[in-house]
Structure 1
Amino acid sequence: MTEIAHSPTDWVAHHTARYLASDGADGHLFNGYPTLLLTTLGRRSGVRRCTPLIYGRSGEDYLLVASNGGAAAHPAWYLNLLAEPRVGVQVLGDVFTARAVTAEQAAKPALWAEMVRVFPTYASYQRKADREIPVVVLTRSANSSR
């Protein structure tokens, strides 16, 4: 198995390490918001990278917002999953593979509303961004453990 690289940002790496060490008991809620761990394959480096992200739900699917804090550029994890949509996911102690896709325009308004309900700051990120912030839908792979 290929080693997974964690964020060079200390607080993010610390959050990820706590989450992994405790199966999410310490780290699933981050400042009161639910987080999962997303593992993507680097589109240029080929390195697997793990990122903690706030998530929501739509039925059985998990939702993510590629906000990058409202920055002009998409976050690296989003660019990585565009190149390779098979991702690793951990929610608490549940570790599985999923397929990541950008929400279609017709479905996005309802999914966006759900994510703003989960984390209201996304609305201000969209106001300051010079791009449409994507919502990502994670669908558990059929052969993935539950």
Structure 2
Amino acid sequence: MDWDHPKDPKQGTWQLDHVKQYVATNGAEGHHWNGTQTLLLTTVGRVSGNAVRTPLIYGEADGRYLIVASKGGDDEHPLWYKNLTAHPEVRIQVGPEVLQGTARTATPEERAAYWPVMVGHWADYDEYQRKTDREIPIVVIEPAGAAA
């Protein structure tokens, strides 16, 4: 896996601009975004096998990182979520720190505890959940240490 050369979001999207800024400044710009905090998640494409990088809002609990697979309340899971369910080994950049980790879907008990944490970071998550019949997953990333 070539973690150091991931595929970034599509050209012309705010996500691509966000990733470029985040990487160019080692997280000094982009980590704090629109009143919240973001990380860069790199997953392994379940079809392509290539590294794919996505900027996401995150929270923290119990030494773990939390992200929400909301896709704005769409009825389909985001591609990054489908990728990590197929390949749970991930890389994250949180500000200047780059870590390897293992991602998993929160248990129902964890989701109940972590949902208010994540709504505290992005209030729109409640609205996104109302827009869809699917239960929006929370992903728990267990950091394994600094990336090589």
TM-score (norm 2): 0.94
The aligned counterpart of 1:89 is 92
Off by >2 Å, runs of 4+ in structure 1: none
Instruction: Find the partner of 1:50 among 50, 53, 56.
Output: 53
Show the counterpart of 1:117: 120
**Which letter maps to 2:146?**
S
Separation in structure 2 between the aligned mates of residue 95 and residue 74 of structure 1, nearest angstrom: 25
Structure 2: state its 5+ residue gaps: none
Partner secondary structure for residue 132 of structure 1: coil
Corresponding pairs, count: 144
Does residue 1:138 correspond to 2:134, yes or no?
Answer: no
Superposed CA RMSD in Å reads: 1.2
Counterpart for residue 64 of structure 1: 67
CA-to-aligned-CA distance 1:70-102 (integer Å, 9 cap, x gap) = 000000000000000000000001001011010
Cα displacement string for residues 39-91 of structure 1 (whole angstroms, at most 9, x for unaligned residues) = 00000011110000000010210100000000000000000000000000000
SS at match of 1:106: helix
Q: Does 1:77 align with 2:80?
A: yes
Q: Which runs of 5+ in 1 are unaligned?
A: none
Query: Quick one: distance in 2 between partners of 1:6 and 1:66?
Result: 18
Cα deviation for residue 23 of structure 1 reads 1.0
Q: Percent identity?
A: 45
Q: 1:23 aligns with which of 26, 30, 47?
A: 26
